């Protein structure tokens, strides 16, 4: 993470000196995870992380450039149990289930960090890009399978750009998540998909 993968050569004589402690990395990530449950990203300090992890500040800054990227790594590490995407045979149903699942996640204790990553990204373009590539794109790659299945089955119009379609489906939810001007629940998901798909699906004619 945040580091270059240690490259190729497998025999690779170890460098001199003490080796990087994977325990340190784990301690930092899990400390960060714990802190994120209690406080917002902005409120968490690098000092708090290292203290809770029983690790020195130099160690943290040796492996990560700043605490946002630590938090991102911690966040991603907790997503490995990756929910499979639904496959009901109907694109509308699939996206409805998916949207519900995503809403549940984003409003969960862990998922609410998402909003804070987007927020941090507004004043740190590099971070925003990393976040986009490592989180958003991964999610979109998964959901694109659902999209393609819909297109192949003739449920989704093939003249609609997928990115546009995806934004139509998930954009309103993101907007509500960030602006908080309206509620977010299963009912909303259903209604939203209903209307959106009226614009996306092929006419049955």
Partner DNA sequence: AGCTAATCGAGACGGTACGTCACGTCTTAAT
Partner DNA sequence: ATTAAGACGTGACGTACCGTCTCGATTAGCT
Query: Where on the chain is the footprint of DNA (CB under 7 A)?
Result: 13-21, 24-25, 27, 44-47, 54-59, 61-63, 66-67
Shortest distance, position 152 Cβ to DNA, whole Å: 47
Count of residues interacting with a copy of itself (CB under 8 A): 47
How far, in Å, CA of 108 to CA of 32, rounded? Answer: 17
Check binding of 196 to a copy of itself (CB under 8 A). Answer: yes
State the burial class of residue 70 (Cβ atoms within 10 Å of its Cβ: 0-12, 13-18, 19+). buried
How far, in Å, CA of 33 to CA of 27, rounded? Answer: 10
**CB atoms inside a 10 Å sphere around CB 15:** 8
Shortest distance, position 63 Cβ to a copy of itself, whole Å: 19
How far, in Å, CA of 186 to CA of 188, rounded? Answer: 5
Indicate which single residue of 95, 106, 127, 197 sits in contact with a copy of itself (rule: CB under 8 A). 197
Indicate which single residue of 94, 98, 120, 155 sits in contact with a copy of itself (rule: CB under 8 A). 120
Strand ranges in 92-198 using DSSP code E only, listed in sequence order: none
State the burial class of residue 174 (Cβ atoms within 10 Å of its Cβ: 0-12, 13-18, 19+). middle
Q: Residue 179: which of DNA, a copy of itself, none does it interact with, CB under 5 to 8 A by kind?
A: a copy of itself
Check binding of 174 to a copy of itself (CB under 8 A). Answer: yes
Interacting residue ranges for a copy of itself, rule: CB under 8 A? 40-43, 115-116, 118-123, 125, 128-129, 132, 136-137, 140, 160-161, 163-165, 167-168, 170-176, 178-182, 188, 191-192, 195-200
């Amino acid at each position: 993470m945040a580091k270059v993968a240690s490259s190729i050569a497998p025999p690779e004589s170890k460098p001199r000196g003490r080796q990087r402690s994977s325990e340190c990395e784990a301690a930092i990530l899990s400390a960060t995870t714990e802190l994120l449950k209690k406080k917002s990203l902005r409120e968490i300090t690098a000092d708090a992380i290292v203290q809770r992890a029983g690790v020195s500040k130099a160690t943290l800054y040796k492996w990560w450039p700043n605490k946002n990227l630590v938090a991102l790594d911690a966040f991603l590490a907790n997503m490995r149990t990756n929910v499979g995407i639904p496959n009901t045979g109907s694109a509308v149903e699939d996206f409805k289930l998916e949207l519900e699942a995503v809403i549940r996640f984003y409003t969960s204790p862990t998922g609410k960090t998402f909003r804070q990553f987007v927020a941090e990204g507004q004043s740190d373009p590099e971070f925003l890009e990393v976040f986009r590539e490592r989180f958003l794109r991964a999610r979109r790659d998964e959901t694109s399978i659902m999209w393609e299945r819909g297109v192949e089955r003739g449920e989704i119009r093939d003249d609609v750009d997928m990115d546009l379609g995806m934004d139509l489906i998930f954009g309103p939810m993101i907007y509500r998540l960030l602006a908080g001007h309206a509620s977010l629940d299963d009912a909303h998901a259903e209604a939203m998909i209903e209307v959106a798909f009226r614009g996306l699906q092929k006419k049955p004619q």
